[in-house]
Structure 1
Amino acid sequence: MGLLDKLFGGEKEKREEKVLPWIPLNDLKQLDYIKKKSAIKTQVIFKHSTRCGISSMVQRQFISEYNFSEKELDLYYLDILSYRQISDEVGYKFQLIHQSPQLLVIKNGTLVANASHGQINQVDLNRFV
């Protein structure tokens, strides 16, 4: 069994999948709430395209490196394909050009940091906690 099973799929190794405290961003009303709540706690929005390989790769890296609790940050997930209107409104409300993937950090009602593509994983969220 051993080696051949591993090579040809006998026993599959179980990997523990890290789950983040994502809050689905699926209603326009949430944007006002995010802005308001950012006075108390930093709010983070991760905009993601489910059809984009780069977006998926960046999301996997983001997940593997994320190490904050729900007490430190609120982490919103925006599926831009399903909620394009919300994605457009995010750009309008926070005055930035749409990109995907894209990370927004909101504090005290203001966009304090944003990044897209590979730069997302270089944003030091510790600075905003």
Structure 2
Amino acid sequence: MFKKLFGSSEPKEEKLLPWKPLTTVDQLNTIETLSKGKTQLIFKHSTRCGISKMVMNQFVSAYNVEANLDLYYLDLLSYRDVSNEVGYKFQVMHQSPQLLVIKNGVVVAHASHGVINDIDLERFI
């Protein structure tokens, strides 16, 4: 009964996603090119924001590791120039946290905050 109420004290096994760090503006051209054959995702994350951390944890929990797409992680505080260029290149206003789904060179879906987890990624594979 207590385990159901308070959870187990045993550590949970963390789910690791195949993140690719997004650290340079040049990578955006690569992402655009690769998106013509395989869906690309960019997850913009603020490491100082509790909401961003909560949304990222929910995303990681719900993510299907078998999905056939590339997943990029952008620490927007460390790579502000890259974050700004994402907005210019893909014509999406900056928000944090934010998920962009890129296919055939363009953003086909994007969301921020809790709505990120409402995107049905299977539609874009």
Same fold (TM over 0.5): yes
Q: Which moved more, 1:23-32 or 1:61-70?
A: 61-70
Give the partner amino acid of 2:24: D
Unpaired runs of 5+ residues, structure 2, are none
Structure 1 position 15, deviation (Å): 1.2
**Counterpart residue number, 1:21:** 18
Unpaired runs of 5+ residues, structure 1, are none
Structure 1 position 27, deviation (Å): 1.0
In 2, Cα distance between the equivalents of 1:67 and 1:89? 28
1:119 and 2:120 matched: no
Give the partner amino acid of 2:75: D
**Counterpart residue number, 2:64:** 67
Counting matched residue pairs gives 119
SS class of match (2:13): coil
Structure 1 position 69, deviation (Å): 2.7
**Counterpart residue number, 2:33:** 36
Map 1:73-92; keep pairs closer than 5 Å. 73-92=69-88
Give the partner amino acid of 1:113: A
Q: What's the % identity of the aligned pairs?
A: 65
TM-score after normalising by structure 1: 0.89
What RMSD, in angstroms, separates the aligned Cα atoms of the two structures?
Answer: 1.5
In 2, Cα distance between the equivalents of 1:14 and 1:115? 31
After superposing on structure 2, the runs of 4+ consecutive aligned residues of structure 1 that deviate more than 3 Å are none
**Counterpart residue number, 2:52:** 55
